[in-house]
Structure 1
Amino acid sequence: VGLVGKGEDPRRWCTLNDGIFNYYESDKSSTPNGALKMKEIVCLAVDPPLKHGYDHTFELYSDSERLYLFGTDNPDTLREWVKSIAKSFIPAYAESLLQQDFERIGRLHSKDSLSLETPQNGWFCLAGSTLHICLENGHSEETIHLRKLQELCDGDNLDESLYIEGERKLDFLGWTGAIQRAGSSGDSLSEQQLTDTDIPVIVDHCIKHITQWGLISDGIYRKSGVNSRISALLVDFRRDARSVWLKEGDHLVDDVANVLKRFFRDVQDGLFTSEAAQEWLSELKDDFSKVARYQQLFNRLPTVNKATLRALINHLYCVQCYSDANQMNLHNLAIVFGPTLFQTDGKDYNAGRVVEDLIQHYIAIFNVNEEQLKKQKDEISIIIKVRDKMSQKNSGAEPAGDFICTVYLEEKKESAEQHVKVPGAMTASELTCEILDRRKIRVREKDYWCCFEVNEKEETERPLHYNEKVLPIFHSLGTDSYLLVKKHYSMEAMLVYLASKVEVTKHGVVRFREERSLLGLGSFNERYFILTSTSLRMYKDIRSNRSEKEWPVRCLKVYLGIKKKHRPPTCWGLTVYYESDKQEKSDRQYLCCDTQNEMREWFATFLSIQHEGSLWPAEGCRMRVSRSVMADPRLGNVSLIPLRGSENEMRNSVAAFTADPNSHMTVLLLFVYVNKPFIRS
């Protein structure tokens, strides 16, 4: 019971009893001005100060699309009313949500990537940047850290996602805005959008870009960039760091380096925290005391600060390893980063000395696994070699040498890794034979071993044609893709089917869905398709005379499988990419067949047309690799680091490594942040 209202607005005497919230003209009134049953409430929101002109207000949303606004004189009264009201309409299975200091709590429907057809009722609570969820049929409370999201947008798309629906538009608009604000960046380090390892996305992106494109750049971190570009990039990162992709050519390494420095100089409370900064700066003489003291101070830092400091010092350690090329030795880096990280004026060297100590004693202070560090340095060496190749190509010099690439045998696991030296002209068939020879696998009659391009994210795979050049494929793979050598169990059936055909064409009814329908809740619909030597045409039905769509076969790349998130009616599906020089992004179409045999026939017809009837070499996989491709033991177990950049940059970077001057390659770049759930509003 209490008085609710403020200032010139009407003040009402309110009571909450037996699940009914009544408000009266005064405490002497016997008849309420209005009443609200607690079972009718779908959402309660605590407003930030001055949203409605007052410091302490809260909103109640009813299932009849009505909004009730109440205000109090002080925060304690507000907190009491909010807790009491929330407790009266939250069901017993979601009572754990009441323990949170929430700003919004209410009922929503949700679907995940495994149950898009059957939404579940649940109660959601937003507290800070964390979304707490109690589903009706759930066994425990779930939490999602909104600043660690990979993406936050409208629509129904992609796997590893959580799709949220509101019962009423009014309260759902409030949820959408609140979640978006909670997932955005703030002023302090812990309020930034984060990776799954608690590193701010802006720091992660800048370090990776400089590692790939600027590690041997002369004077990296010492040279000034262009101030207008630095400021604009900082604005983009602060608006939504997840959406910023750094690309060579578009973003110069000196600009990116200065963005990183300016971020650390400006971030609220600093990397070392204002509370502990002076302790870090206290001088110690001997190395043993320094290491122990730094370890102690490091362990006292907040989680995000610890992860960020470790990542940054690791990066600077790698930078100084190449000081012969970039002129940035231990001392030079310390001069630059000391005042930056401690946010000082740089008049003395105390801050620089701490940074120098951290880099010099990096392995001891951070308990670094030296084997992992060696692997990281080997990978960086590969990156630098790739850059050298690109520089030679751009200067007209003749490239030399091969690339070390990682291929898996039968399944993706560490024990199945094979690190192969791949020349520019090596074909998929030669790579397959090389892997089988290494493992001394005997190829029997009618064994069809093949090299597959596998995309885990899209849940698709594509057997490479035996004459397809391997190196361009490696350079175009995203982080979710890899090459896998295994038996092609459908090849014999495909060859038998094609041998029975007089003319290689295919037609029939197939269930179809195009990519843009994923923005809504589209489904697969039956369409009549005709595949000829020149085109794939789609008709509404078999009686139609005019095609709805037509694609040239030469521009289609066909993968086996359809991602489960797209809800294919059967498991016998094809994902078809239309790739054209006139468009930067490839379009995806999904064709779903009723049987495995039907899918094989369509796939075989596609391949036969695109490769002029030659699906399998006459000598099969028993052929030996003619050139020497044995692994160089000096290189160790080093995986190729996929290149990044625009499509044209990728084309240029691998053009020198293919023997066929007429070969044409289209590069699909797949970018990922972290393997965390999405929010779909």
Structure 2
Amino acid sequence: VVSSPYSQGVPPHFSLWSLPRRRTSDQMSMIYQRRWVKLDADYLRYFDNEKEVYSKRIISTSSIASVSNIGEQKFEVVTHSRTFVFRAESDLERNGWVSVLQDAVGDPRCRRESKGSLLSLSATNHEMQGYLELRGLRSKLYVVLCNDKVFLYKNQEDYKLGIGITFIDMNVGNVKDTDRRSFDLTTPYRIFSFMAETDQLKEQWVEAMRESIAEALSNYEVATKIWSEESNGFCADCGATKPEWAAINLCVVFCKRCAGQHRGLGPSISKVRSLKMDKKVWTEELIQLFMLLGNARANLFWAANVPPSEALLPSSCTEDRRRFITAKYREGKYRRYHQLFGNQQELDNALCINVQSNDVLETLSLVFCGADVNCYTGNPEYPTPIALAQSFNQKLQVEFLSQNRNTGECVLGGGHTETVHYMAPPSITHNGFLFKTASVGRPITERKAKEEFSRRWCTLNDGHFNYYESDKNSTPNGVLKMKEIVCLAVNPPEKHGYNHTFEIYSDSERLYLFGADNLETVKEWVKSITKSFIPASAEDLLNRDFERIGKLRYKDGLNLQSPKLGWFALVGSTLHACFEDSEGEEAIHLRKLQELFSGWVWGHCGLCVWCFRTLYIEGERKLDFLSWSAAIQQAAGSSGDTLSQQQLTEADIPVIVDRCIHYITQCGLTSEGIYRKSGVNSKIAALLEMFRRDARSVRLKEGEHQVDDVSNVLKRFFRDVEGGIFTSQASQQWLSTAAVTDESAKIAQYQFLLGSLPRVNKATLQALVNHLYCVQRFADHNQMNLHNLAIVFGPSLFQTDGKDYNAGRVVEELIEHYVAIFNVRSVTGFCCVQALGSGDFICTVYLEEKKQSAEQSVKIPATMTAAELTFEILDRRKISLREKDYWCCFEVNEKEETERPLHYQEKVLPVLQSLGTDSYLVVKKHFSMEAMLVYLASKVDVSKHGMMKFREERSLLGLGISGFHDRYFILTSTSLRLYKEVRSNRPEKEWPVKCLKVYQGVKKKLRPPTCWGLTVVYESERQEKPEKQQWYLCCDTQTEMREWFATFMSIQHDGNVWPAESMKARASRAVPLDVRLGNVSLIPLRGSENEMRNSVAAFAADPLALFRNV
């Protein structure tokens, strides 16, 4: 039993391991039952045990009249109708509960106008209430649906008194229609099967609960901004308040009932989006557009001529809404006609002129009176109105035109209107001869010769693809329904005997291969077939020159419970996707992925794409998914030898460049002769080949990879890359610029050439020069000043033989004038936040707590340890060390609510480079260190074992154990093993200890069962398939947690947890010698690799030897 924590107020989550209660129905017979009890600001609830999610009883704190002691270990909670008696494990624990309950009862937050009801808000928030049958119970329950919760009561009287059974959070719920009067409310923890009295009531309950789920998942941020424009607070069509839907192309906001009619117009006329659920659609420009126009201004155009007899009211029926909205937006019946209406050329000219201004309402009027959004402006530099608006920096004009790029016109030329009804795509018909192989149930990996194909007459009509022996036959050899097609792939030319082939995958796990020698024949068939099975919501994908198109199920960070259906098209290295309930399509640049891996999960194939978010693609069928997986992984790799064909970071920098720069920044800035020394040629070639094969999978680690090998990989990559970083067309212009004598003219020319580079080349050059700028700032340590770096990188970047210094001079000037040439306001990049004239990093470290008065800006040399940083902070504040004081530097992560004391020998710089925006360093006393050292001193064996509560992280794929569960752990000098129970023979999981990073604390939103938790992060060392996991452990006591943490630290640092004499560590800090070598070349400009290596060896043996004859 864990004692209750006492608090002056009501904590958000207050719980005990146990608290028995007794029934009060019979005062003479006291029967206590052990219950798990929770108290928060609004409710006192008790459960069968701590693992239960749904309570047995819930008591509103607003219905509690008093709380008082009634004897040994007991107290009573008195409500307006009943008295509940509880017994604690001790008087001390009982007093703690009474104190907190009395505070809760007396807290004004808990007092509502409604005295007894759990739902103390006004009755208008009760979306629905009434009796329902719950499967498994004999009597009906009184159910109340309020906002994002469903409350269950024994009867209506209990509801009025504020004493319920439990409540269900709808943000984890899903409603499913089952039998005639039944429906299921499904949560991850339990399925509630309800039955209503009538079919009509059931439909009302289902609809209300689905709305509640949508409400629970919605976000009001966008709606609040748009409603800030007063007229947007009322429906543009019927005037209802707080409209939650909008047509993003028509620039009007409307209510839910009108939204249904807008959808009926089709996406070519009205693009309907939710203000609360389609958050990713609402860019800042689109929000500003709606705030600028507003319903009032938009209706100056759309509703300029509405007769009072035809105007809608909030109470108007569905038929009236349909008639009015169709007339208003499809026919343009009530709009204000533009004075140029009917004159197409004049409308287009006026549009081109107006987009240069900020008058968006005029643009709206022109477009919906017939102006062509895609008309030619007459200016080849800015050929379209969108390009013209962009050139004048009219962002809202660009946003409006972009939303209406494909909007169907409601008016045709000549001044008359034509009603264009939205309908399903027409039935596609096509016929002709194709060559076909026999269908198979596995991927086709071998080349099919022409002899393996048979000539077939093929027809496509009414959604059926038939193939016949010849055009004379009336009975088809086979039929393929369009609704059965799940994927179509276009093969590269000459993959098979016929030059051009395509594959069709069906939902019955069959693969059909068709081909022809004529490219146009295959193109027409592919176009006709895809038009027949791709839905209208994904028709934008058909405009792409795709290699593969089809449907797959997916999960993302917003939906991990159940997969949704999406439509995907692979075009080169870009995966275009039309997700459910999303606007248009989204593009996933596969070469810019952070992670990409595939495997089997839940009996399905899975492919995880990780870029801005995690996207989990699931294959219901193995055949088509395997082909998708292979195609995506191939597209995500490097496809050529130019910079733009490499795997890229989000900043358009090749991954190989980014990884090498990051590693050298972290491990090699102070390495003497960095970039000058030769590495091991075989290791350089092997590492470069790994990068070329799959740069994303390569993880450079200190100890495994030598700095000189990595630096030579980077140089060799630039020397070998096709076209070079400066491009073969412009490299001579760069070289000739070095001869310009006027410095300002030279910088201007460099800036011009930089702006002319392709996007990837420009980003890569800036990243490299930024890095070299940082390297030369450490010249005191690495001996690599501007001149030396230029000697090394000039020939590599310009791919020359190094016989003259022109290439080196360009590199030297780019580094020297880095800030001016690259227009850097302040020198960016972590490594360049430095003190004047020094090579040290500057970072903010806090003393004892994170507040402004505790900030300290500290220079962080690459060699500084955590102990040295700690003493630096203490020296500044003149804090003297006393016996038994254990000052330590902690890494704190506010988002994860964790902290980790750095080992006193741990280098600070790599830690700083890995910190996110939610993390910081703080120096404070380690109050548990003495107890940890005493415990470790008493240990005979380095290992530890015992029970802990375990939970996996589920944020990546939605997999893993939910909630905390008891598991048995064994920690040895090499590994941490997890067993389901003590008697288990085989571990469920096992991790090497050296790959674990242990933090103290567990984030509260995971609802840890105790406050003594550890967060453990595992990073694998495998190069081919790097892996990162995170999970959580909870101990029963603080002592137990401290012992586990001490054992982890002891094993990871070979028993050296704290220095035997801390003052020695303080005295051992030394300032590096200041050795400046100026601009003297350290290694000959020319010569064989062996000669250069020998020069480096000589320099390493006697650095002053080079200067004795100077």
1:406 alignment counterpart: 845
Which has the higher Rg, Structure 1 or Structure 2?
A: 2
Corresponding residue of 1:5 = 435
Instruction: Pick the aligned partner of 1:49 from 467, 479, 493.
Output: 493
Q: Distance in 1 between matches of 2:592 and 2:540?
A: 23
Q: Which amino acid aligns with 1:5?
A: F
CA distance 1:95–1:563, change in 2 (3 Å): farther
Could you tell me how far 1:103 is from its partner in structure 2? 1.1
Could you tell me how far apart the structure 1 residues matched to 2:464 and 2:717 are? 51
Contact 1:469 1:658 in 2 (8 A): no
- Cα 1:93–1:250 change in 2 (3 A) is same
| Counterpart position of 1:278 | 732
Pairing 1:173-572 to 2, within 5 Å after superposition:
173-186=626-639, 187-283=641-737, 284-285=739-740, 286-323=742-779, 326-372=782-828, 376=832, 378=834, 406-407=845-846, 418-419=856-857, 453-455=891-893, 459=896, 461-462=898-899, 472=906, 477=911, 479-480=914-915, 482-483=919-920, 512-513=950-951, 521-524=959-962, 528=966, 559-561=1000-1002
Q: Structure 1 CA distance, aligned partners of 2:1061 and 2:840? A: 14
Separation (CA, whole Å) in 2 of partners of 1:415 and 1:204: 37
Letter in 1 for 2:1036: W
> Is residue 98 of structure 1 aligned with residue 537 of structure 2?
no
- In structure 2, the CA distance between the partners of 1:96 and 1:370, relative to structure 1 (3 Å rule), is same
Distance 1:32 1:586, change over 3 A: closer
Q: Which residue of 1 aligns with 2:586?
A: 142
Match of 2:622 in 1: 169
Q: Closer, same or farther in 2 for the Cα pair 1:324/1:33, shift >3 Å?
A: same
| Distance change in 2, residues 1:324/1:133 (3 Å) | same
| CA displacement, residues 376-396 of structure 1 (integer Å, 9 cap, x when unaligned) | 1518999x669xxxxxxxxxx
**Higher RCO, Cα 8 Å, sep 6+:** 1
Distance in 2 separating the partners of 1:556 and 1:322: 30
Q: Distance in 1 between matches of 2:819 and 2:651?
A: 19
Change (3 A) 1:247 1:548: closer
Report the TM-score when normalising by structure 2: 0.43
> Would the alpha carbon gap of residues 37 and 335 (structure 1) be closer, same or farther in structure 2, given more than 3 Å must change?
same
More divergent stretch after superposition (348-357 vs 32-41):
348-357
Asked if structure 2 preserves the Cα contact closer than 8 Å seen for 1:472 and 1:654, the reply is no
Q: Corresponding residue for 1:632?
A: none
Q: Deviations over 1:404-456 (max 9, x none)?
A: 663499779x9996546899659999989999x9xxxxxxxxxxxx9974447
CA–CA distance in structure 2, aligned partners of residues 105 and 141 of structure 1: 13
Distance in 2, Cα, partners of 1:339 & 1:426: 41
**Deviations along 1:277-310, whole A, 9 cap, x unmatched?**
3333344523333222221221121111110011
Is 2:576 aligned against 1:132?
yes
Matched residues in 2 for 1:54 and 1:568: separation?
A: 62
TM-aligned CA deviation for residue 586 of structure 1: 13
Shift of 1:36: 1.2
Say which SS state the counterpart of residue 272 (structure 1) adopts.
coil
* Match 1:604 to one of 1038, 1062, 1066: 1038
CA-CA distance at 1:315 after TM superposition: 2.1
Deviations 1:186-221 (A, max 9, x none): 322112111221111111122223333333444433
Using the TM superposition, give the Cα deviation of residue 356 of structure 1 relative to its aligned residue in structure 2, in angstroms: 3.2
Summarize deviations over 1:244-298 as a string: whole Å, max 9, x none: 2223443233222221111111112221222333333344523333222221221
Of 36, 39, 46, 2:480 maps to 36
Per the alignment, in what secondary structure is the counterpart of residue 488 of structure 2?
strand
Q: In the aligned structure 1, how far is the partner of 2:1028 from the partner of 2:511?
A: 43
Distance 1:651 1:547, change over 3 A: closer
**Residues 203 and 420 of structure 1: CA distance in aligned 2, closer, same or farther (over 3 Å):** closer
Q: CA deviation at 1:167?
A: 1.7
What amino acid does structure 1 have at the position aligned with 2:749? Answer: R
Task: Give the 3-state SS of the residue equivalent to 2:489 in structure 1.
Answer: strand
What secondary structure, in the 3-state scheme, does the structure 2 residue paired with 1:336 have? Answer: helix
CA distance in 2, matches of 1:652, 1:146: 45
Q: Which amino acid is 1:75 matched to? A: L
**168-177 vs 219-228, which moves further:** 219-228
Q: Give the letter for the 1:91 counterpart.
A: P
Asked if residue 61 in structure 1 is aligned to residue 517 in structure 2, the reply is: no
CA distance 1:98–1:549, shift in 2 (3 Å): closer
Q: Percent identity?
A: 57
Deviation, 1:338, is 2.7
The whole-number CA distance in structure 2 between the counterparts of 1:122 and 1:571 is: 41
- Closer, same or farther in 2 for the Cα pair 1:176/1:340, shift >3 Å? same
Provide, for residues 445-492 of structure 1, a one-character-per-residue CA deviation record: whole Å limited to 9, x for no partner.
xxxxx99744478x351476xxx87774957847246347799xxx9x
| Residues 590-609 of structure 1: CA deviation (Å, up to 9, x unaligned) | 568xxxxxx7x835353465
SS across alignment from 2:749? helix
Length, aligned pairs only: 559
Per-residue deviation at 1:175? 0.9
Q: What letter matches 2:898 in structure 1? A: E
Note if contact 2:554-2:563 (Cα within 8 Å) is conserved in structure 1. yes
**Displacement of 1:119:** 1.2
Distance 1:330 1:173 in 2: 51
SS of match in other structure, 1:308: helix
**1:128 shift after superposition:** 1.3
Is the Cα contact below 8 Å between 1:460 and 1:575 reproduced in 2? Answer: no
| Separation in structure 1 between the aligned mates of residue 735 and residue 872 of structure 2, nearest angstrom | 59
Describe the shift of the 1:434–1:349 C-alpha distance in structure 2 as closer, same or farther (beyond 3 A): closer
> CA 1:375–1:335 in 2, change beyond 3 Å: closer, same or farther?
closer
Q: How has the CA–CA distance of structure 1 residues 569 and 119 changed in structure 2, closer, same or farther, with 3 Å as cutoff?
A: farther
Cα 1:281–1:472 change in 2 (3 A) is: closer
Checking the alignment, whether the CA contact within 8 Å between 1:111 and 1:163 is kept in structure 2 is yes
| Contact kept? 1:108, 1:123, Cα under 8 Å | yes
Q: Distance in 2 between matches of 1:265 and 1:123?
A: 41
Q: Which runs of 5+ in 2 are unaligned?
A: 1-430, 437-449, 602-607, 880-887, 929-945, 1019-1025, 1047-1051, 1066-1110
What secondary structure sits across from 1:247 in the alignment?
coil
Q: 1:78-117 counterparts in 2 under 5 A?
A: 78-117=522-561
Query: 1:366 offset after TM fit, Å?
Result: 0.8
Q: Secondary structure at the match of 1:77?
A: helix
Q: Contact 1:121–1:135 at 8 Å: present in 2 too?
A: yes
**What is the identity, as a one-letter code, of the residue corresponding to 2:480?**
L
1:170-197 CA-to-partner distances (Å, cap 9, x unmatched) read: 0100111111111112322112111221
After superposition, the C-alpha distances for 1:38-72 in whole angstroms (9 at most, x for unaligned) are 11110111112343344321111000000011112
TM-aligned CA deviation for residue 124 of structure 1: 1.3
Give the distance between the partners of 2:656 and 2:980, measured in 1 at CA: 48
**130-139 or 100-109, which moves further after superposition?**
130-139
Judge conservation of contact 2:538–2:584 (CA < 8 Å) in 1: no
The answer (yes or no) to whether the contact 2:1017–2:1031 under 8 Å persists in 1 is no
Alpha carbons of structure 1 residues 375 and 253: separation in structure 2 relative to 1, 3 Å = closer
Does the 8 Å contact 1:319/1:328 carry over to 2?
yes
